[in-house]
């Protein structure tokens, strides 16, 4: 593979569950609804995480599992049917309903896959019902998106055409999708679809002539589902920064038999803009030490981007799960930086306190304790629901790391104060 060492030191961890993915997924699929089958704690998590971003009636809710459900005093399936019936009656715009499993629903062995089949048949022609697990028993928060997309793939129609097609898997901001689509068209790839689509009615065919790219590194199950439908994976670094985006397009072009010089001509101007935008932040970030606690599975591509394009020094890169096949190109570029897969939290905290990196990327649960120790932090969840892919967002991505450092410097005792307002 590469010179990158993958170290394993399993132990306790601190991550959010897959329910968190609903925060960005419900905004992406415009006519979908996410019904969490869980506890009041599940409801509080989603409402707290998404509440600051909701400016209209949300497309998610929680079917609360009560004590009588846990005790077997009520038929949970009957109650779930009633909730779904009321929901679809009240919200006729829903075309795709996800039943999202949680820790409580899995503990009581509530079979949501059977419930989804039953409810799909009952509401046929009105709405499709799918299910996936957002439980945090075995997963981290980005795996919720992976499970959601993996549940969609078997429902996609079969592609019986002989014409090659491309699927880009991973939830992206609409503006980023449009940027990708325009550049694919410039290099001669017009038959491009995105999963998830913006609307459930937009069916994406998949078959043996389909090739697919992953926009996110945490889509292991989605990749497996697409391959089971006959689609072929295009191995590439992820489109973060100028380097990663260029490699992403070149790998795609090679898979479609398109000459590299045609790609170079198409990407020349947006790549130049990205390099110019990054130069501003490189002066702030170069030489700064960087530490990743495991959280999003974006850690390896981000470490590659920040080290190679921003001049930062990764002191430790930890990720909750590492699919070495999907990340082979990233690991090759990252080089000899040690990567820790699912490390023990207490031991990693000890190492971080000793190393005292300039910036620490971590989950929300660790940020305040680390700040109390005098460490500067960046929330990893922000890197998931903020547009960071493609050339036009390269500078924004670097800026997400420069701002905490500027804030730290501004808060130092004796730091220069901003000029008074006139």
pLDDT (average), residues 84-90:
95
> What's residue 421's pLDDT?
38
Structural domain boundaries, residue 313 = 274-411
Please, which residues have CB within 8 angstroms of residue 171's CB and are 6 or more apart in sequence? 24, 25, 28, 145, 149, 196, 215, 216
Q: Residue range 249-270: average pLDDT?
A: 97
pLDDT at 175 over 90: yes
User: Does 84 map to a domain?
Assistant: yes
Q: Mapping DSSP to helix (H, G, I), strand (E, B) and coil, where does residue 195 land?
A: strand
Q: What is the dihedral of CA 168, 99, 121, 90, to 10 degrees?
A: -110
Whether 422 is in a domain gets the answer no
**Does any domain span residue 55?**
yes
pLDDT(10) > 80 = no
Is 191 a member of any domain?
A: yes
Domain count, the chain: 3
What whole-number distance in Å separates Cα of residue 130 and Cα of residue 119?
9
Answer whether residue 349 is part of any domain.
yes
Same domain, 215 and 291: no
Residue scoring higher pLDDT (52 or 18): 18
Q: What is the DSSP string of 126-176?
A: T-EEEEEE--SSS--TTHHHHHHHHHHGGGSPB---SS-EEEEES---HHH
Lowest model confidence (mean pLDDT) among 13-22, 222-231, 327-336: 13-22
Place 74 in a pLDDT band, splitting at 50, 70 and 90: low
**Integer Rg of the chain from CA:** 22
Q: Write the CATH number for 215.
A: 3.40.50.1980
In a domain, residue 4? The reply is no
- pTM here is 0.92
Least confident of 220-234, 238-252, 324-338: 324-338
Residues 182 and 286 in one domain: no
Look at residues 230, 264, 298 and tell me which one is the last residue of a structural domain: 264
236 and 294 both lie in a single domain: no
Q: Are residues 219 and 290 in the same domain?
A: no
Residues 228 and 311 grouped into a single domain: no
Strand, helix or coil at 304? helix
For residues 116 and 40, membership in a common domain is answered with yes
Do 112 and 198 lie in one domain? The reply is no
Query: Is the torsion defined by CA of 231, 236, 240, 246 positive or negative?
Result: negative
What are the pLDDT digits (tens) for 328-376? 999 999 988 989 999 999 999 999 999 999 999 999 889 999 999 999 9
């Amino acid at each position: 593979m590469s010179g990158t060492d993958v170290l394993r030191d399993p132990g306790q961890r601190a991550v959010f569950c897959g329910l968190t993915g609903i925060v960005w997924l419900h905004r992406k699929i415009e006519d979908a609804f996410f019904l969490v089958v869980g506890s009041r704690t599940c409801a509080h998590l989603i409402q707290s995480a998404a509440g600051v971003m909701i400016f209209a009636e949300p497309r998610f809710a929680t079917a609360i599992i009560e004590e009588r459900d846990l005790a077997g005093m009520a038929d949970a399936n009957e109650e779930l049917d009633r909730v779904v019936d009321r929901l679809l009656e009240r919200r006729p715009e829903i075309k795709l309903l996800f039943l999202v499993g949680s820790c409580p629903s899995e503990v009581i062995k509530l079979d949501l896959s059977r419930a989804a089949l039953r409810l799909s048949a009952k509401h046929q022609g009105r709405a499709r019902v799918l299910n996936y697990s957002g439980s945090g028993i075995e997963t981290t928060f980005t795996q919720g998106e992976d499970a959601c997309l993996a549940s969609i793939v078997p429902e996609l129609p079969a592609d019986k055409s002989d014409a090659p097609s491309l699927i880009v898997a991973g939830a992206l901001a609409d503006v980023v999708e449009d940027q990708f689509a325009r550049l694919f068209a410039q290099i001669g790839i017009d038959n491009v679809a995105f999963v998830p689509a913006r609307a459930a009615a937009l069916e994406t065919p998949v078959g043996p002539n389909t090739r697919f790219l992953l926009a996110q590194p945490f889509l292991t199950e989605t990749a497996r589902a697409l391959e089971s439908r006959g689609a072929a994976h295009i191995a590439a670094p992820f489109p973060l920064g100028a380097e990663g985006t260029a490699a992403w397009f070149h790998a795609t072009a090679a898979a479609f038999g398109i000459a590299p010089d045609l790609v170079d001509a198409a990407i020349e101007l947006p790549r130049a803009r990205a390099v110019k935008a990054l130069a501003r932040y490189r002066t702030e970030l170069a030489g700064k030490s960087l530490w990743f606690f495991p959280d999003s599975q974006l850690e390896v591509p981000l470490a590659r981007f920040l080290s190679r394009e921003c001049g930062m020094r990764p002191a430790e890169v930890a990720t909750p799960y590492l699919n070495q096949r999907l990340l082979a190109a990233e690991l090759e570029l990252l080089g000899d930086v040690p990567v820790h897969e699912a490390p023990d939290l207490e031991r990693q905290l000890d190492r971080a306190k000793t190393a005292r990196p300039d910036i620490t990327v971590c989950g929300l649960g660790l940020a305040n304790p680390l700040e109390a120790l005098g460490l500067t932090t960046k929330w990893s969840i922000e890197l998931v629901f903020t547009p960071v892919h493609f050339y036009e967002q390269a500078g924004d991505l670097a800026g997400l790391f420069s701002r905490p450092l500027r804030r730290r410097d501004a808060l130092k005792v004796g730091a220069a104060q901003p000029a008074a307002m006139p």
